[in-house]
Amino acid sequence: MALSRCSGWVVTEAGRQPWTVYGMVRTAQSVSPLALSTTLGIFLAVLLIYGLVFALGLHYLLRRIKGELQSGEPVVIQLKTPN
């Protein structure tokens, strides 16, 4: 079942070109005018930002797990049960 779902998605998306308007804009007209160096620079900047956010989040989680960061006072919950 999962294979058919994934293959259906791949087949659908492979023929689709969301950046073009069917019947109005040809694929050749919808190519970005950006140079390869600009595209590569943007890609690397986004990759760097995501990597930095991931590293900071991982650092925070590891500090939380080790107990270096303390949360507030422990919460005590009293449940009332019928007798």
Choose between 69 and 30: higher pLDDT. Answer: 30
Q: What is the pTM of this model?
A: 0.52
Query: Two tokens at 53?
Result: 């956010």
Q: What is the pLDDT of residues 39-76, one digit of tens each?
A: 999 999 999 999 999 999 999 998 888 876 666 667 67
Q: What is the pLDDT of residues 9-19, one digit of tens each?
A: 766 766 666 66
Tokens 């140079």: give the residue: 35
Dihedral over Cα of 42, 46, 49, 52: its sign: negative
